[in-house]
Amino acid sequence: IHPPSRGTSILTLAIDDLVKTFGEVKAVDHVSFEVEEGAFVCFLGPSGCGKTTLLRIIAGLEQADTGAVRLGGVDMSGVPARKRNFGVVFQSYSLFPNMSAQRNVGYGLECRGWSKSERQKRACEMLDLVGLADQARKLPSEMSGGQQQRVALARALAPNPSLLLLDEPLSALDAKVRDTLRQEIRSLQQRLGITTVMVTHDQDEALAMADTIVVLNGGKIEQIGHPRDLYTRPASAFVAGFIGHMNVLPVTRNGSGFHFSNTILDVDEADPGQGDIRSLGIRPEAIEVASSHGANAPRNVVPGEVRAVTFLGNLTRIEVAPDAQKDTVLTLELHGACDIPKLGDGLSLRLPSHALKVLP
Ligand code: ATP
C-alpha cells in the first residue's frame, strides 16, 4: 500500500472561525487553525470542552452556526458527510454485527460502486495492513475489542480517504491493547501519509501520537503546538496542569525574584516582564533534593516536610509540604536507587531557576 496519490495539490485542512452553540452552551467558540497534509493532530481537553463537536463538524455530521471547514482550499460546507471522502472511526467500533470482517471493510466500497472482486481484493489488502489477514471471515462478536477496532480502521481506510477522523478510538480498550494499537495507528498513519485528526481526553495518548496538539477548554483553543513545546512551554496554568503534572506555586514579586514560602526564587526565563505574575510552575522531575536542610535556606531552596512517598518501580514520587506554606504541596520524582526519605522527614528542595516557568 502506498500513500494515496493526490497529484501535486496540497490538501491543507483549514478550520476557519467555527462557532457552534447548543442553546446557551458555546460548544465551539471561534476556533481557527490549519493542519498540514500528512500531519497527525489531536484535539485534547477535558469532558465538555467541545472536541467531539469540532470533529463532527469536520466530518459533516454536525452543522456549524458560522465559519468554514476547507480541505485543499475547497469549502466543505455544502458537501454532505457521505460525499466528503473522509474515513471516520468511532469509540464504539460501529461494525455491522451480521457481516464478516471482510464484508465490513468492503461495505463502503460497495456504496461507491466498486465491483465484488475489487471489493474483496481491497478488503483483504486492508485487513492485511491492520494485521488481521487470517480473521477475514469472523463476525465482530467473534473478535476482541482491539481486533474490532482494527477492522473499523481498515474499513475507514479502504476507500483511500483524504482525511482520517478518529473519535476516541482507543478509550474502550484495556491499557495493554490501547498501547499496542496506539503505536500501530501512528505507524500506519505515517506510512500512508494520511492527514489524521483524533479526539482524545488522554494526554499520554496525545503526547505519544500527535505531531500537533490542539488543547481546547470551554470551546476555545487554549494552546496549539508540538507535544514537546506544550510540555516545556505551556501558555497557561490550564495547559501546564492538563499536560503532565505541574507544581503551581503562588508567588509575589520580590525585587528581581519571587517570594514563595519564606524563600526567594530566581527565574532564568528571559525577562518575565513587570506584569501581574502570581504563579510559577515547575515539573516534578525538575525538582532536586538540596544537600543541606535548615531554616536559613539559600535562594531557590525550599525547606519542607515529607507528606507522602509512593514507590512506582522505576521512580519514587514524593510529596513535600513547604515549612512556611504548608497548603502548597510540591511533588517531585526521584529515579533509581537513591536514598528515599521517609514520611515526616525534613527535606529541602532545590527549584532550579532554569526549570521555573512563569505561568500567565
Ligand atoms: P466528552 O469528552 O465528554 O465527549 P467533548 O469535549 O467531546 O466532551 P462535546 O461533546 O463536543 O465535548 O460537547 C461540548 C458541549 O456541548 C458540552 O457542554 C455538551 O453538553 C454540549 N453538547 C454537545 N452536543 C450536544 C447536543 N447535541 N445537544 C446539546 N448540547 C450538546
C-alpha cell at position 76: 466543505
Closest C-alpha to ligand 1, atom 18:
48
* d(C-alpha 46, C-alpha 215), whole Å: 9
Closest C-alpha to ligand 1, atom 7:
52
In the predicted model, what is the mean pLDDT of residues 324-353? 90
Residue 138: which pLDDT band, with cuts at 50, 70 and 90? very high
Whether 271 has a pLDDT exceeding 80, the answer reads no
Q: Check residue 1 and give its pLDDT.
A: 40
Q: Check residue 337 and give its pLDDT.
A: 65
b/e map 85-119, b = 16+ CB within 10 Å: ebbbbebebebeeeebbbbbbbbbbeeeebeeeeb
Tens-place pLDDT, residues 242-254: 898 899 999 998 8
Q: How far are the Cα atoms of 100, 103, 142, 282, 305 from residue 116, in angstroms, in the given order? A: 15, 10, 24, 59, 71
* d(C-alpha 270, C-alpha 272), whole Å: 6
Q: Which of 22, 28, 168 to mutate to test the pocket of ligand 1 (most atoms within 8 A of CB)?
A: 22
Whether 144 has a pLDDT exceeding 60, the answer reads yes
In the predicted model, what is the mean pLDDT of residues 211-231? 96
Distance of CA 219 to the CA centre of its chain: 16
Q: Check residue 8 and give its pLDDT.
A: 39
To the nearest whole percent, how much of the chain has pLDDT over 90? 71
Helix (H, G, I), strand (E, B) or coil at 262: coil
User: 17: burial class by Cβ within 10 Å (0-12, 13-18, 19+)?
Assistant: exposed
Tens-place pLDDT, residues 16-59: 999 999 999 999 999 999 999 999 999 999 999 999 999 999 99
Residues 6 or more apart from 115 whose CB is under 8 A from it? none
How long, in residues, is the chain? 360
Cell 507528606 locates to 307
Whether 312 has a pLDDT exceeding 50, the answer reads yes
* d(C-alpha 44, C-alpha 210), whole Å: 10
What is the H or E stretch that residue 282 is in?
A: strand 279-282
* d(C-alpha 255, C-alpha 14), whole Å: 46
pTM of the model: 0.86
* d(C-alpha 203, C-alpha 341), whole Å: 30
* One-letter amino acid for residue 355 of the chain: A
CA 281 to ligand 1 center in whole angstroms: 31
Index of the ligand 1 atom closest to the CA of residue 62 = 27
In the predicted model, what is the mean pLDDT of residues 122-139? 93
Q: Which of 43, 49, 51, 53 to mutate to test the pocket of ligand 1 (most atoms within 8 A of CB)?
A: 53
Residue 235: which pLDDT band, with cuts at 50, 70 and 90? confident
Residue of 119, 123, 88 whose CA lies nearest to 102: 123
From the CB of 63, is ligand 1 less than 6 Å away?
no
> Taking the CB of residue 343, how many other CB atoms lie within 10 A of it?
11
Task: Tell me the sheet residues that pair with 42.
Answer: 198, 213
From the CB of 217, is ligand 1 less than 6 Å away?
no
From the CB of 46, is ligand 1 less than 6 Å away?
no
Task: Say what the ipTM of the complex is.
Answer: 0.97
From the CB of 259, is ligand 1 less than 6 Å away?
no
Q: Check residue 236 and give its pLDDT.
A: 86
In the predicted model, what is the mean pLDDT of residues 255-280? 82
Closest C-alpha to ligand 1, atom 25:
22
Residue 270: which pLDDT band, with cuts at 50, 70 and 90? low
Whether 228 has a pLDDT exceeding 80, the answer reads yes
- For the chain, the average pLDDT equals 90
CA 54 to ligand 1 center in whole angstroms: 10
Whether 206 has a pLDDT exceeding 60, the answer reads yes
From the CB of 347, is ligand 1 less than 6 Å away?
no
Index of the ligand 1 atom closest to the CA of residue 55 = 11
From the CB of 51, is ligand 1 less than 6 Å away?
yes
* d(C-alpha 126, C-alpha 180), whole Å: 18
N- to C-terminal Cα distance for the chain? Answer: 47
In the predicted model, what is the mean pLDDT of residues 77-99? 90
Q: Which of 20, 25, 61, 199 to mutate to test the pocket of ligand 1 (most atoms within 8 A of CB)?
A: 25
From the CB of 49, is ligand 1 less than 6 Å away?
yes
From the CB of 281, is ligand 1 less than 6 Å away?
no
CA 25 to ligand 1 center in whole angstroms: 9
Residue of 130, 81, 135, 131 whose CA lies nearest to 108: 81
Contact 60, 76 (CB under 8 A): yes
Helix (H, G, I), strand (E, B) or coil at 142: helix
* d(C-alpha 139, C-alpha 122), whole Å: 18
From the CB of 257, is ligand 1 less than 6 Å away?
no
